[in-house]
Amino acid sequence: MENELVEQRKQKVKELRSIGVNPFPNDFKPSHDVVGVLSYYSSFSDEEIKNLSDKFSLAGRIIALREFGKSTFFHIMDRTGKIQGYIRRDVIGDEKLNFFKKFIDIGDFIGIRGDLFKTKTGELTINVKDFKLITKSLYPLPEKWHGLKDVETRYRQRYLDLISNPEVKEIFLKRTKIIKLIRDFLNERDFIEVETPILHPIAGGAAAKPFKTYHNALDMELFLRIAPELYLKRLVVGGFERVYELGRTFRNEGVSTQHNPEFTIMELYQSYATYEDLMDLIEELICFVTETLLGALEFDYEDMKVNMKRPWRRINLIESVKSRIGEEILSSDEFLFKKATSLGIAHKGIRGKAIVELFERTIGDEIVDPTFVYGFPIDVSPLARKNDLNPEITDRFELYLAGREVANAFSELNDPVDQKERFLKQLDFKSKGEEVHEMDEDFIGALEHGMPPTAGAGIGVDRLVMLLTNSPSIREVIFFPHLRPE
């Protein structure tokens, strides 16, 4: 037998039907929403409210209920907020009060009609003249005071989390706002938003394990994209000089507080710009988003105080590793690899990887305020333009913030011959067991038609949202993070 609480409610549904009441009607049209009523009428004095004859109808879910003998208080919540309702016998009559007390439960949706008054404690409340059951809920809501805490239930049944934990809803509203602000900022600067394929014949643009899938009619294996990069650059070749894409990307790797198998990335490309121009652009973009969202450029993240005031610090990757670890880093492979191995870094004899990992484990982890780290080794940057003065490094930077990487950007490599050599070099690394960028002949073909000098950047949107909402885990900013089936 099922839970008694559910049984009771199913019984109520039966009884309602037997007396000719539809427990799931669809003909109630609210005239107002909660915030509309509260914000407008909170400006009136108590006396003025008494004299207002306005009537309102509102709809929402009952989230709290306090019943008395001849009256009832409750709160309903709609998309905008919550408001108290008051039902009393001498206003609404015996029959309706009894119906309410018998059939209406916490969790149900109801529509109410009435006018406003203020209670003794000053809470603006709807004096209910009439109500209607809109949707019967068969399950009880989680506990009113502690909310829903169980992390597994929160993720598996996010709707319960959203109903009972207002701060969770707040985080997701902020997420939506952040994404909108990114679009606003870029649209304003003449960037065009585009959509490129998610099903890729070659999983390019990054080094990661892809998800595989299969197309029946074409009889071919496809991969879910690990990055939109190579398609966006094809569009640059096609004349879209300023493009961006904001969307889902997939990587078939471990899950953690920083990684979800599908995540949201924003990539942008701007022709006739350099990676240094993009430092300025990203500074402006993230400051715009932060300040508009939070009203300030300073915020707490976990135990850190982050200050985003411009200009942001810019440090050279190799110079900072040299000064931390030792000058020999560059002159002696032996020293470099020994040092990396001692820190447990699996570099597989790739110099660039060892250097970048050394940086991440030492200096990168300590960075709190936003810092551009520039000058990445060429062997870990196969899509980035070689530096004109030093062919061992590329014109690439990453943005570090609160100990994490938030953005990756570079002047794009637009020399097709060099690009081909870089891909071939990657295949070398692949034979050492590394995950690498795959050869993409079709992309090289696009470059052969000429891509104007361009700089591009990618921002991990989930991680940015984590920072701006002080969320310790990526699962707190993704509605339905992936879990094993129960």
Partner RNA sequence: GAGCCGUUAGCUCAGGCUGGUAGAGCAUCUGCCUUUUAAGCAGAGGGUCGCAGGUUCGAGUCCUGCACGGCUCACCA
What residues between 174 and 233 interact with RNA by CB under 7 A?
206-209
How many residues in the chain? 486
Query: Could you write out the three-class secondary structure of 258-288?
Result: CCCCEEEEEEEEEECCCHHHHHHHHHHHHHH
Choose the binding region for RNA from 30-38, 217-225, 232-240, 247-255 (rule: CB under 7 A).
247-255
| 346 contacts RNA (rule: CB under 7 A) | yes
Contacting RNA within 65-84 (CB under 7 A): 65-71, 73, 75, 84
| 150 contacts RNA (rule: CB under 7 A) | yes
Q: State the minimum distance, in angstroms, from the CB of residue 103 to RNA.
A: 9
Both tokens of residue 390? Answer: 């030093």
| 475 contacts RNA (rule: CB under 7 A) | yes
Grouping H, G, I as helix, E, B as strand and the rest as coil, residue 101 is: helix
Q: 143: exposed, middle or buried (C-beta count within 10 Å: 0-12, 13-18, 19+)?
A: exposed
44 contact partners, CB below 8 Å, separation of at least 6: 52
List the one residue from 57, 125, 381, 426 that touches RNA (CB under 7 A). 125
Determine phi and psi for 481, rounding to 5 degrees. -70, 150
| 148 contacts RNA (rule: CB under 7 A) | yes
| 5 contacts RNA (rule: CB under 7 A) | yes
Query: Residue 41's Cα: distance from chain center in Å?
Result: 35
Contacting RNA within 85-114 (CB under 7 A): 86, 88-90, 105-106
DSSP string, 373-412: EEEEEGGG-TTBPBPSS-TTEEEEEEEEETTEEEEEEEEB
Q: Which is nearer to RNA, 90 or 388 (CB)?
A: 90
Q: Pairing relation of β-strands 371-377 and 313-316?
A: parallel
| 344 contacts RNA (rule: CB under 7 A) | yes
| 345 contacts RNA (rule: CB under 7 A) | yes
Q: State the minimum distance, in angstroms, from the CB of residue 149 to RNA.
A: 4
Q: Which is nearer to RNA, 199 or 343 (CB)?
A: 343
Q: State the minimum distance, in angstroms, from the CB of residue 212 to RNA.
A: 16
Q: Which is nearer to RNA, 24 or 68 (CB)?
A: 68
CA distance 367 to 164: 36
| 47 contacts RNA (rule: CB under 7 A) | no
Q: Residue 230's closest CA among 199, 206, 255, 262?
A: 206
Q: Residue 100's closest CA among 67, 122, 75, 139?
A: 67
Choose the binding region for RNA from 176-184, 194-202, 217-225, 341-349 (rule: CB under 7 A).
341-349
List the one residue from 15, 46, 143, 291 that touches RNA (CB under 7 A). 143
> What x/- string results for residues 253 through 292 when contact with RNA is judged by CB under 7 A?
xx-xx-x---------------------------------
